[in-house]
Structure 1
Amino acid sequence: MITHLRSGRSRRNDDGRIALLALVLAFAVLVMIGLSVDGGGKIRAMQRADNIASEAARAAGQAILAPQAIEGGEKVVDPTAAVTAAQSYLAAAGVTGVVDIGPDRKHVAVTVTITYTTLFLGLIGIDTLTATGHATTVLVAT
């Protein structure tokens, strides 16, 4: 008669534990990739927002009151023309923004908002990131 000797350890069933660990680690790796890819995308969106705000402010700063400037008077922006020029630039770039003319009419500030659609972070519920850019133009008499 053959008897089986049993060791002091009972044998546990480990089936499926490795698969669960692999699943959790794969998800963590995808989130890390998402943070790097979508983080870089947000940085590019912020740079684009800053560049567009700068160009819109420059366009607004060129809309000066010409008759007054030609006569040797103070160089100030025409508020209506400046806002129109900046908003036209923003519309051509396909973004939204706010144009603010300073009370002295020598300062033009533009704020641009861009929405970046994420590629990977949607896995954890983050579908969009917002990037904001600011720029100010100051008229200088020469």
Structure 2
Amino acid sequence: MTRQRDQWWRDDRGSIAVYTAICAVALLALIALLVDGYGRVRAVEQADALATEAARAGSQAVDPARAVPGRAVVADPQAARVAAQAYLRSRGASATVTVSDSGRQLTVSVHTTYVAKFVPVELAVSGNGHASLVRGVAVEEEP
């Protein structure tokens, strides 16, 4: 009986339960981080796609006073901003819309947040879209 009492601490019965609990907690934490990481990557992709579509919508607001006579294909800056922002509003987002290079370049920057599923934080997410107005099939024609 003394031999059993002296060696009780060497007994490994039940040790697998502690090991399993530790590994299970670590595995669940890793899965939670992967899910939240994938969710943020997906949110960035959606912000990029939204910004690109808004830039495309804004680039269709061509200035007819220059385009119809064939002088130049440029965007009407005010109409392009309004069209891009209308598209963004229809999708429930807001962004910065910039028209530059005399109406030939349109840039949209979408800024939003991603709320993580397992970790209680809000992560900043931004996406950028760009549209260039050109005239011609393979190379840009001169006005």
- When normalised by structure 1's length, the TM-score is 0.77
Query: What's 1:133 paired with?
Result: 127
Question: What letter is aligned with 2:98?
Answer: D
Q: Are 1:46 and 2:44 counterparts?
A: yes
Q: 1:92 aligns with which of 68, 84, 90?
A: 90
1:96 Cα shift?
1.9
Which structure 1 residue ranges, 4+ long, deviate > 3 Å from structure 2?
4-7, 9-12, 17-27
Aligned Cα root-mean-square deviation (Å): 2.8
Identical pairs, percent: 36
- Cα distance in 1 between the residues matched to 2:17 and 2:88: 51
Which blocks of at least 5 consecutive residues in structure 2 are unaligned? Answer: 10-14, 137-143
Aligned residues: 134
Instruction: Give the 5 Å matches for 1:55-134.
Output: 55-120=53-118, 122=119, 126-134=120-128
User: In 2 relative to 1, CA 70–93 (structure 1 residues): closer, same or farther, beyond 3 Å?
Assistant: same
1:31 Cα shift?
2.1
The DSSP-based 3-state class of the residue aligned with 1:113 is strand
Question: What letter is aligned with 1:139?
Answer: L
- Cα distance in 2 between the residues matched to 1:93 and 1:5: 76
The DSSP-based 3-state class of the residue aligned with 2:32 is helix
